[in-house]
Amino acid sequence: NAGVTQTPKFQVLKTGQSMTLQCAQDMNHEYMSWYRQDPGMGLRLIHYSVGAGITDQGEVPNGYNVSRSTTEDFPLRLLSAAPSQTSVYFCASSYSVPSGGYTFGSGTRLTVV
């Protein structure tokens, strides 16, 4: 089925470890972005990309890196995990001239201990 696929769905990390959250979409969307959601809060933008090879920072970029080598993939890297990065992470994609809106993945629940 067409959509946004995030892996893994759950992850536990130790403080200081690094990891990559994967995001892939098969809708040929130009735009992709990463959000985090903490309990009782709305979504906050981490990084976004308007096309392959182009990325920019969002509201809360510190501690995260991204790259966009293909249209389909937009991985999010945690360089040195901290407990403050415990959150649910959502990846989203859309067309540049949307007939609808963003399509979101089902999320990755990350716990840093």
Partner 1 sequence: DAKTTQPNSMESNEEEPVHLPCNHSTISGTDYIHWYRQLPSQGPEYVIHGLTSNVNNRMASLAIAEDRKSSTLILHRATLRDAAVYYCILRSRPPYTGANSKLTFGKGITLSVRP
4 Cβ contact list (under 8 Å, min separation 6): 23, 24, 25, 91, 92, 93, 103, 104, 105
What residues numbered 11-70 form the site for partner 1, per CB under 8 A?
Answer: 31, 33, 35, 41-45, 48, 50, 56, 58
For partner 1, the closer CB: 90 or 112: 90
Residue pair 113/14 in contact (Cβ under 8 Å)? The answer is: yes
For partner 1, the closer CB: 58 or 63: 58
Applying CB under 8 A, does 76 fall inside the site for partner 1? no
Applying CB under 8 A, does 106 fall inside the site for partner 1? yes
Instruction: Kindly tell me the number of DSSP H helices and DSSP E strands found in the chain.
Output: 0, 11
For partner 1, the closer CB: 55 or 85: 55
Q: Which tokens go with 86?
A: 């415990």
Residue pair 111/36 in contact (Cβ under 8 Å)? The answer is: no
Report the interface residues with partner 1, using CB under 8 A. Answer: 4, 31, 33, 35, 41-45, 48, 50, 56, 58, 90, 92, 94, 96-98, 100-107
